[in-house]
Amino acid sequence: MISLDNLREAQSGLAGVGERTPLIRLPFEGMAGEVRLKAEHLQPIGAFKIRGAWTALRRLSDDARRRGVVTSSSGNHGLGIAFAAKRLGIRAVVVMPESAAGVKIEGVRKLGAEVILAGKTRGPEQSVAAQRYVTDESLTMVPPYDHPDVIAGQGTVGLEILDQWPEVRAILVPIGGGGLLAGICSAVRATGADVAVIAVEPAGIPKLSTAIAAGSPTVLPGGASLADGLLTMSVGEVTWPIIKETVRAVASVTDDEIRAAVRWLNTAGLRVEPSGSVTTAAILAARYIVTGPTVVVCSGGNVDAARYEELIAG
């Protein structure tokens, strides 16, 4: 687990950089408890990834900063790295799949990072290409989720939730590689809070369910989902030991359920990307039954305009 001191240091380090995002009450009816949305789509980069990226880069040695950093990302982590690198004056290279959302690719470029496209979809091609920069140019790798400092940064989401709403009894969290989930698990464990952490995964990429059944992270042979930020095919080796000790249950949501959640959130005045909508989808589709005060973590809101119009028109 990431210690409480580590989490608190990450939290203080985010002052003036990341937002203390609000908890927005959702207009659910007939629930056994109030549901609030942790609005990470309101971060400066439109996603929670700013927390882990900033924490990891801020904690780099002076030598590592001089050499620069490289990462692989389907989008939001790349935005976080680009944002943090620009603030700190660090060279950043972001390797992305060709299928990454255009708004995310252009966002990384506008923030001044070098974008390298490798592989048609999210997969090992990006990691291989990023590793070449470590080998050939001595850049420091900053993984999108499998790194203690990244996890600590993401864990500040959990600290904020517990501080903002001490009555909360369940937190629903999207699962990609597990950085956000592991961070929130660490916050819950470190504070001793009586809160159930529920993971929500796309049904088409059941990486956490598979890992739990196998007893260890397992690389899926393939899969697809509308949630482009959750396409990682395995839970991380660093995030897994933290997750398995704390997560109470896993809910799976289909693409149709994710799409319905995007539309429902839009009617509530919230523009959320599919990856950020999975937790709301779990409640709308009764994949998770609310039994008390509940938070659904919205991980981000970065989605191409045309794609978003298509989603809400359905």
- From 12, 38, 49, 72, active-site residue: 49
Residue 25: partners with Cβ closer than 8 Å, 6 or more residues away? 34, 35, 36, 37
- From 74, 234, 252, 299, active-site residue: 299
CA-angle at 199, arms to 196 and 204, nearest 5°: 160
The region, left, alpha or beta by phi > 0 then psi within -120 to 50, assigned to residue 75 is left
Closest residue by Cα to residue 299 from 235, 247, 227:
227
Longest dimension (CA), the chain: 58
Active site residue 299: yes
Active site residue 49: yes
Cα–Cα separations (whole angstroms), residue 20 to 10, 23, 24, 160: 13, 10, 13, 7
H-helix or E-strand spanning residue 293: none
Whether 72 contacts 50, CB under 8 Å: no
Which position has the token pair 């660093």?
238
CA dist., res. 143 & res. 295, Å (int)? 27
Q: Rounded to 5 degrees, what are φ and ψ at 29? A: -120, 145
Whether 78 contacts 50, CB under 8 Å: no
Catalytic residues: 49, 299
